[in-house]
């Protein structure tokens, strides 16, 4: 009798342990640098579809990388979302990601928009949406043909006209890293020097501030990520929409190597205790419905092959036609950022 009791209680504790493990499997810890309120619905849909709950920690890219380094192998993170190729590359170099093998992700996401495979064949991170780095200009004072490529931002014809956020911001480090890939070191450093000579003001503010600078007449030409412009175009505020009516939009380098495209992307955390759940989440983000969410919620382009989307601002920006984007591997862009930062220091690009 006593024996049977012991056995029964042992069985009960095994069952308890098993259900605790199961319950643990139904949660993933997400460290996210996506600063877009529209993503909330996306996470709720994932939980509804899979039963896996998401514990979210919000920070910026640098904050997430610093936190994961500090936490080391004790990190509770399962999945990471960052919003720039240079940062994704940084996280990979710092060994924060677990390369994964997923036939779903590999079929959905083009090879140039994900990391180079690791030694074991797994992929350290995946681009999940794209954003173009655009040129906007004053339609009255500036001729479009003088600003239709990144190279022309450094042309003396644009002296005193250029507004751009800090050169060291990841969005610019990635653009400059791409230009380095296309033009080589000598031309790239001269180009950066030429941009410094053309500045209307010392770099300050975010991308939206540069668009506003063009609308107010302070800047003749500026650089911005596409979704900031699309956000103003789709804004409920008439003032925001009026801003976009005053600026011309260029997808640079259509006649040469194409417009620089950056990614927001995701990775499984190196020390995840729920690799299956984390992988499932990334696969979900590559699905047609999640990809549509990126397009409609934050005005980004889907990356997954064959996904169609409907976004009035993105369509208006490109006149309904596809634009030519660069085809260099996005992983090379991140790898160039150290060289680019040294150039910025040499030419005095703040
Ligand atoms: Fe942003």
Mean pLDDT by 10 residues, the chain (350 residues): 48 48 72 86 93 94 96 98 94 97 97 95 97 97 98 98 97 97 98 98 98 98 97 96 96 98 97 97 96 91 92 91 93 93 98
Query: Token pair for residue 203?
Result: 């770099």
| Shared domain check, 160 and 99 | no
Q: What are the phi and psi torsion angles at 325 (to 5°)?
A: -110, 155
Query: Token pair for residue 206?
Result: 């975010």
- How far is ligand 1, taken at its centre, from the CA of residue 207, in Å? 8
**338 within some domain:** yes
Distance in angstroms (rounded) separating the CA atoms of residues 156 and 191: 11
| Shared domain check, 343 and 197 | yes
pTM for this entry: 0.89
pLDDT at 5: 46
User: pLDDT (tens digit, 9 = 90+) per residue, 69-78?
Assistant: 999 999 999 9
- How far is ligand 1, taken at its centre, from the CA of residue 52, in Å? 28
- Domains in the chain: how many in total? 2
- How far is ligand 1, taken at its centre, from the CA of residue 346, in Å? 27
| Shared domain check, 179 and 124 | no
pLDDT at 320: 85
User: pLDDT (tens digit, 9 = 90+) per residue, 125-136?
Assistant: 999 999 999 999
CB-based burial of residue 274 (10 Å sphere; 0-12 exposed, 13-18 middle, 19+ buried)?
buried
| Shared domain check, 243 and 339 | yes
- How far is ligand 1, taken at its centre, from the CA of residue 327, in Å? 22
**6 within some domain:** no
Burial 87-104 (b: 16+ CB within 10 A, else e): bbbbbbeeebbbbbebee
Distance in angstroms (rounded) separating the CA atoms of residues 39 and 32: 10
Distance in angstroms (rounded) separating the CA atoms of residues 139 and 173: 27
| Shared domain check, 337 and 269 | no
**41 within some domain:** yes
- How far is ligand 1, taken at its centre, from the CA of residue 178, in Å? 18
| Shared domain check, 173 and 90 | no
Q: What are the phi and psi torsion angles at 11 (to 5°)?
A: -60, -40
| Shared domain check, 307 and 184 | no
pLDDT at 1: 42
- How far is ligand 1, taken at its centre, from the CA of residue 172, in Å? 11
Terminus-to-terminus CA distance in the chain, angstroms? 80
**12 within some domain:** no
**106 within some domain:** yes
**212 within some domain:** yes
Q: Could you list the residue range(s) of the whole structural domain that residue 167 is in?
A: 132-260+324-347
| Shared domain check, 114 and 173 | no
| Shared domain check, 111 and 45 | yes
Residue 60, domain CATH = 3.40.190.10
pLDDT at 23: 47
The angle subtended at Cα 175 by Cα 173 and Cα 179, nearest 5°, is 110
Distance in angstroms (rounded) separating the CA atoms of residues 74 and 56: 17
Q: What are the phi and psi torsion angles at 261 (to 5°)?
A: -120, 125
pLDDT at 276: 96
User: pLDDT (tens digit, 9 = 90+) per residue, 277-299?
Assistant: 999 999 999 999 999 999 988 89
| Shared domain check, 215 and 156 | yes
| Shared domain check, 229 and 104 | no
Handedness of CA 212, 217, 222, 226 (dihedral sign): positive
| Shared domain check, 207 and 343 | yes
């Amino acid at each position: 009798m006593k024996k049977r009791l012991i056995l029964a209680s042992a069985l009960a504790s095994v069952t308890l342990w098993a259900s605790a493990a199961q319950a643990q499997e139904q949660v993933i810890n997400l460290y996210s640098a996506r600063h877009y309120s529209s993503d909330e619905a996306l996470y709720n849909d994932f939980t509804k579809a899979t039963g896996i709950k998401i514990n979210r920690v919000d920070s910026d890219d640098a904050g997430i990388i610093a936190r994961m380094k500090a936490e080391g192998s004790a990190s509770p993170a399962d999945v990471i979302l960052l919003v720039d190729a240079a940062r994704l590359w940084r996280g990979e170099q710092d060994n924060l990601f677990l390369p994964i093998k997923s036939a779903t992700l590999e079929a959905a996401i083009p090879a140039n928009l994900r990391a180079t495979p690791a030694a074991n064949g797994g992929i350290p991170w995946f681009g999940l949406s794209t954003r173009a780095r655009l040129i906007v200009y004053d339609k009255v004072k500036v001729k479009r043909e003088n600003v239709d490529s990144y190279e022309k931002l450094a042309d003396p014809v644009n002296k005193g006209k250029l507004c751009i956020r800090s050169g060291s911001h990841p969005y610019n480090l990635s653009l400059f890293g791409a230009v380095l890939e296309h033009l080589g070191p000598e031309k790239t450093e001269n180009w950066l020097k030429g941009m410094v000579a053309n500045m209307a003001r010392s770099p300050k503010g975010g991308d939206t501030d540069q668009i506003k600078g063009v609308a107010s007449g302070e800047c003749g030409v500026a650089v911005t990520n596409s979704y900031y412009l699309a956000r103003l175009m789709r804004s409920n505020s008439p003032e925001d929409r009026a801003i976009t009516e005053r600026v011309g939009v260029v997808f640079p380098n259509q006649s040469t190597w194409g417009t620089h495209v950056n990614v927001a992307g995701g990775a499984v955390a190196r020390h995840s205790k729920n690799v299956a759940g984390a992988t499932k989440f990334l696969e979900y983000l590559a699905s047609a419905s999640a990809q549509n969410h990126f397009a409609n919620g934050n005005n980004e382009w889907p990356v997954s092959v064959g996904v169609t989307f409907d976004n009035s601002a993105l369509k208006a920006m490109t006149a309904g036609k596809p634009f030519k984007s660069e085809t260099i591997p996005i992983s090379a862009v991140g790898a160039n950022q150290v060289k680019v930062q040294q150039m910025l220091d040499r030419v005095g690009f703040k």
